[in-house]
Amino acid sequence: MVTPTGALFSFCESRNDFCTTMATVDRSTRPCCDSSFLHRRNIMSFRSFFMFMLLLFTIDRCFSEDDHEMEEFLKREYSLSKPYQGVGSSGSSHWELMGDAMVTTDYIRLTPDMQSRQGAVWSRIPCNLKDWEMQVHFKIHGQGKKNLNGDGLAIWFTKERMQKGPVFGNMDNFTGLGVFVDTYPNEEKYIEAQKKRYTPRTQRIFPFVLAMVGNGSISYDHERDGRPTELGGCNAMVRNLKHDSFLFIRYIRRRLTVMIDIDGQHEWRDCLDIPGVRLPQGYYFGATAVTGDLSDNHDIISLKLYQLTVIRSRKEEEDEEEEEITVPSVDNLDLLRLGQNEEGMSGIAIFFTVLFSLLGCIFLLVIGLVVYSHWNENRRKRFY
């Protein structure tokens, strides 16, 4: 039975089912929707749905494995946030101030924008967590213009605490982890004094974030801004920002990850990711800052520590129990520094390298011409 243009209704007598199908504009009729066709279509739909759900399950498992099936728990005894109750004045507080640090209602100022100041805030309780994550809300600001400010702040996880020193307000030859927000390019001034110049491959843009692991005998090199001992780093324009700035430090399964959020977009940006970092438990968290001839306000707004609960295999647990970490170290540290400590050539070295290369090419060309002419002359003589 044919209907007007645009639709066709056919009555399937075998099953007394009403089947509606769309016809083409040319009024052509289509076959009836029989039961076998509908059955096959249902099977195909079920298979497609099953494959889709299997794909979703697989993707979910992959993301779970990448994320180590991890859960986070805020540990308030290792965290520091407003209203900073008792910090600096009460012995019952979990945090202790040192040096020029002071507490306000909105932040803890490690150093004011004044010369030759240093301050710190240290946890009183050693941290025995195996896997953790520290989120640092901070602010660096001052009256100094670019490269006329200094010197920076540091976040620590170390065996020692409450020790004044030259490394961003903490002691040198420390034992543990230091993550530095360096705002003054000491190495640039040092190289200029040595009549050298940077190449684009080695030049840094300051402020610069870097990490270092010390074992109690490694010194931080101020003149080279810590290059010989750094694990890695990234530039971070953190001074005089109108929005919040954050630093993210994660230690999980002996892997150290540092990220920053300084663009006001609430998105983490990778800074460094190093496997094989071995940090003992029972160390202290702290934050320090220092100024010299140049200065800045270095403010800590919050330090939030999260315990990471990670599902490990039985083999991983046995391996970690057998190998107790007592001294901080980094696996394959020489390989990590392979491309970091190579110094770029100065302009004079590049000039002489190019010059000698050209002279060598010219010399080889002359030798080739002499040999060719001699061979050509001998070849002609054979015809006489």
Q: What is the pLDDT of residue 333?
A: 77
Q: Which CATH number fits domain 67-342: 2.60.120.200, 1.20.1440.120, 3.40.50.300, 3.40.718.10?
A: 2.60.120.200
pLDDT of residue 252 exceeding 90, the answer is yes
323 or 38, greater pLDDT: 323
pLDDT of residue 315 exceeding 90, the answer is no
Q: Which of 169, 155, 164, 167 minimizes the C-alpha distance to 211?
A: 155
Q: Do you know the residue count of the chain?
A: 384
357 or 55, greater pLDDT: 357
281 or 57, greater pLDDT: 281
3 or 197, greater pLDDT: 197
Q: Is 228 helix (H, G, I), strand (E, B) or coil?
A: helix
pLDDT of residue 13 exceeding 60, the answer is no
Q: What is the pLDDT of residue 20?
A: 42
Q: What is the mean pLDDT of the chain?
A: 80
Task: Quick: pLDDT tens for 93-122.
Answer: 899 999 999 999 999 999 999 999 999 999
Pairing of strands 269-275, 118-123: unpaired
| Confidence tier at 22 by pLDDT (50, 70, 90) | very low
**Does pTM top 0.85 for this prediction?**
no
Q: What is the pLDDT of residue 269?
A: 96
Task: Quick: pLDDT tens for 354-371.
Answer: 777 888 888 888 888 888
- Distance from C-alpha of 50 to C-alpha of 261, rounded to nearest angstrom: 41
Q: What is the pLDDT of residue 190?
A: 58
Q: What is the pLDDT of residue 30?
A: 44
CB atoms within 10 A of CB 360: 10
Query: Which one-letter amino acid corresponds to residue 68?
Result: H
Hey, CA dihedral for 176, 182, 188, 190, is it positive or negative? Answer: negative
| Confidence tier at 316 by pLDDT (50, 70, 90) | confident
Q: What is the pLDDT of residue 50?
A: 54
Q: What is the pLDDT of residue 267?
A: 93
Mean pLDDT of all residues in 336-362 = 63
**For 219-254, b where at least 16 C-beta lie within 10 A, e where not — what string?**
ebbbebbbbebbbbbbebebbbeeeebbbbbbbeeb
pLDDT of residue 14 exceeding 60, the answer is no
For residues 289, 292, 297, 301, the Cα torsion angle rounded to the nearest 10 degrees is: 0
Q: What is the pLDDT of residue 47?
A: 59
151 or 89, greater pLDDT: 151
Please report the beta strands in the chain, taking only residues with DSSP state E, as ranges in sequence order: 8-12, 17-21, 71-74, 95-99, 102-103, 108-111, 118-123, 132-141, 152-158, 175-182, 208-215, 232-235, 245-252, 255-261, 269-275, 277-278, 284-290, 297-309, 329-330
Q: What is the pLDDT of residue 35?
A: 53
Q: What is the pLDDT of residue 374?
A: 78
Instruction: Say which DSSP state 81 is in.
Output: -
Q: What is the pLDDT of residue 221?
A: 95
